[in-house]
Amino acid sequence: MNYQSPERLQAVVLDWAGTVVDFGSFAPTQIFVEAFGEFGVAVTLEEARGPMGMGKWDHIRTLCNQPAIAERYQAAFGHLPTDEDVTAIYNRFMPLQIEKIAEHSAVIPGALEVIGELREKGLKIGSCSGYPAAVMAKVVELARTNGYVADHVVATDEVPNGRPYPAQALANVIALGIDDVAACVKVDDTWPGILEGRKAGMWTVALTCSGNALGLTFDEFRKLSSEELARERSRIGEMFEGSRPHYLIDTIVDLPKVIDDINARLARGEVPQAC
């Protein structure tokens, strides 16, 4: 039997914060600032956003590896942060995150309509996040009350390795019964999430204006001038270059036209791994 590449997409794997909910991806970033603060170590919101998309323990470890933050930690505790210290911060992060997740749970404007349109096109809706399962349970519950239910959800601690490894994206492929990774699209607002999709062999779509990279509320985004928006798109596009997304769009609202374009490319025999 010969291999035949798919002619149409079968599934979209969506990130959560910054992609479908929490326009500026504030829920995770602000809690990192607060969790470190409770240990007497100052971390700025900009610093907290740097490794966004990773699993939360790995995110904290990455922050602690940054020379400036490591120096602050050493000044407070007399030693550089160990893995045990990272776990202690993580254990404080978790209840704070669960407690405050509802403050940033609103569905991104237009997302429900787009997801409905994708379903009408016959696509399954997978999802994954850098949140662990305990937090995801709350996120999923809140999203359901707001009208969003994904076909499958994979938390970062439900696989051996979180982003930028491909395990979460591939777990969606298995659970949704997809027969070819080339028939899937990964949509994310972070470079680890785009690398996840790339390594899983999927088409990838990076979001430039919702989510972590821009870091604004929806209203703040809408108030940007055309010149400011152009500068931000350029800056964020450069941030994503290394992860090689197939597409860059502002928000999930722009996704349907990308889906149509990918379907046209698949019909011509193109596959994401070769692009």
- List the catalytic residues: 15, 56
Distance of CA 191 to the CA centre of its chain: 8
Angle at 145 between CA 192 and CA 132, to 5 degrees: 30
Q: Are 250 and 206 in contact (CB under 8 A)?
A: no
Show Cβ contacts of residue 88 under 8 Å, excluding neighbours closer than 6 positions: 39
Token output for 127? 């999802």
* Alpha carbon 184 to chain centroid, angstroms: 16
Contacts of 57 (CB under 8 A, 6+ apart): 86, 87, 90
Q: What is the largest CA-CA distance in the chain?
A: 64
How many Cα atoms are found within 13 Å in the side-chain-facing hemisphere of 124? Answer: 17
Q: C-alpha angle with apex 274: 171 to 12, nearest 5 degrees?
A: 35
Contact 212, 25 (CB under 8 A): yes
Amino acid identity, position 57? W
